[in-house]
Structure 1
């Protein structure tokens, strides 16, 4: 009722929308105001205006209704189709999952990709599940551990072919370093600072020569011969096998790994089990 009144700013129009008498709406609102001890609406003969308290509650009611509508849409989706909406970062999609989609199709696993960098809120997002990279697990969500992660510096054969040897490349003053800006701040430790500190190489005040907003963009620049970048599990295997990238320097195991996360309700479905089994089988092929 509060959502309807907040949207229409009219008891009469709200009553029409709800299919009840206007007097019933007025009575319910007065009862609510008495219970709260606050006036929710300033009433005049010309218009209805929200008070500060009324605006807070009506906006909360509208947001709640929007979440409810999303939940009903998800329910209808789960009943009417086998399609799974999977959210993941652009880097993981471009470098690993999209090339693997024909394998999913062969198993009649129907996937729709929701590519975004931010954390998914399953209450307001249409995604059924998401792949996250981080230390995990994730409170409030069903979290399935997929695989640990190794971080590995890489360069293109062309960059190395310019007279630069991969032996001691990371210590050479002329080496150009490329970084993932998100990895520097998102607490996943996907950064040169973490890498150098782990291998025991002191680099006070180190900053990459070039920064990129996404790991796939950074790796594409590495392939183009701009310098040395950081790769990690699932993002570099395809390009290494194809000969676009070459590993340089030692690899290190990270605290962060890959997780499949979703709401507890979806984790109880056959669609979730089929998705989890397929993802693990694809990861096993390259790790």
Structure 2
């Protein structure tokens, strides 16, 4: 017989030679509480059942585990040794049962993302991420500009500021921008153009405080002059895009932020989209490790772009 087969048989024999688990539970409780009566109360058994269980172990081991004196019990040295072993074994069993009963904990990742990108691009795609990676709990935080990594694991930012040499950046997608408006607004101004007015000079340019240079950046990239018509400003970039969809005027829309509405026909892009020289990146305080939650998120984000 091979050595490993013999060891397996020996191991099985040792397991079958153990006292019954129920009897050991009675002994452990009696040893811990130093009372058969209190052990019986804890285990919802009779005093006699606990006493018989302990006696069965003593008979099987041929040792005295308790000294019984004046209606009290005291552990013998052998009893103390078995008490310690039984307590440790039951602690291990209890811990394993707790782990099996509790649902597995998800890997929590705190991701900061620029607010408009978060609302218009990332959140609508979250169900697909959760379906792909149910083991990762993604906590989203809206934010822009420099990142403090004390409470944030990863961040999505456009490279329109210096994030410093210690930040690790993984490129996600380039920024492509273009004028966008509602289909009805475009049709109305095309009619005006048919009557002799320049379309570009009759539209209302929509600006935002968070991207004040959007029109100028597009004008330089497209090598076209800005429309000379009236303009209206909004507090946030998101509001200017909403106003464009509502038919208020024309906003400069980044492709990723308006793609769903363009594909649905809510917005139209009369002049298409072109790269403005900037890009979005996934930022982290350390390099993203292969196989980590960050690596899975990075791969998924690139797929969505």
Q: Same fold (TM over 0.5)?
A: yes
Partner of residue 114 from structure 1, selected from 135, 141, 145 = 141
Contact 1:86-1:113 at 8 Å conserved across structures: yes
Work out whether residues 160 and 166 of structure 1, in 8 Å CA contact, stay in contact via their aligned partners in 2.
no
Give the Cα–Cα distance (whole angstroms) in 2 for the partners of residues 111 and 160 of structure 1.
39
Query: Against the structure 1 CA distance between its residues 144 and 155, is the aligned structure 2 distance closer, same or farther, given a 3 Å change threshold?
Result: same
1:102 to 127, 131, 134: 127
The C-alpha deviation readout for 1:44-75, integer Å capped at 9, x for no partner, is xxxxxxxxxxxxxxxxxxxxxxxxxxxxxxxx
1:198 aligns with 2:221: yes
The 3 A distance-change label for structure 1 pair 208 and 101 is: farther
Residue aligned with 1:226, SS:
coil
Change (3 A) 1:129 1:166: farther
Q: Secondary structure at the match of 1:182?
A: coil
**Whole-angstrom distance in 1 between the partners of 2:198 and 2:115:** 28
Q: Is the 8 A contact 1:95 1:236 kept in 2?
A: yes
- Matches of 1:220 and 1:197 in 2, distance apart? 24
State whether structure 2 residue 280 is matched by structure 1 residue 258: yes
Q: Is the 8 A contact 2:182 2:266 kept in 1?
A: yes
Partner of 2:69: none
**Structure 1 length normalisation: TM-score?**
0.61
Which of 223, 229, 238 is equivalent to 2:251? 229
Match of 1:143 among 146, 157, 169: 169
Stretches of structure 1 that go unaligned for 5 or more consecutive residues are 1-79, 185-189
The answer to whether structure 1 residue 85 and structure 2 residue 110 are counterparts is yes
Name the SS of the counterpart of 2:207 in structure 1: strand
Cα deviation for residue 134 of structure 1 reads: 2.1
Is 1:175 the counterpart of 2:203? The answer is yes
Contact 2:218 2:276 in 1 (8 A): no
Distance apart, 1:253 and its partner CA: 1.0
Contact 1:136–1:259, Cα closer than 8 Å, also in 2: no
Q: Any unmatched runs of 5+ in structure 2? A: 1-104
Matched, 1:240 2:265: no
Please state how far the C-alpha of 1:174 moved relative to its aligned partner: 1.9
| Residue among 152, 158, 178 paired with 1:152 | 178
Structure 1 residues 157 and 114, CA gap change in structure 2 (3 angstroms): same
* Cα distance in 2 for residues equivalent to 1:121 and 1:170: 48
User: Are the aligned partners of 1:166 and 1:248 in contact in 2 as well (CA < 8 Å)?
Assistant: no
Alpha-carbon deviation of 1:250?
4.4
RMSD across aligned positions (CA): 2.8
Partner-residue secondary structure (3-state), 2:204: coil
How far has the Cα of 1:213 moved from its partner? Answer: 3.0
The structure that has the greater radius of gyration is 2
Cα separation, partners in 2 of 1:266 and 1:146, compared to 1, 3 Å: closer
Distance 1:272 1:171, change over 3 A: same
**TM-score of the two chains, using structure 2 as the length reference:** 0.57
1:222–1:203 distance in 2 versus 1, CA, 3 Å:
closer
Any runs of at least 4 consecutive aligned residues in structure 1 with deviations exceeding 6 A, and if so which?
166-170
* 1:282 corresponding residue in structure 2: 304
What residue number does 2:36 align with? Answer: none
CA–CA separation in structure 1 for the residues paired with 2:186 and 2:113: 32
Query: Cα gap change, 1:263/1:212 in structure 2, threshold over 3 Å: closer, same or farther?
Result: same
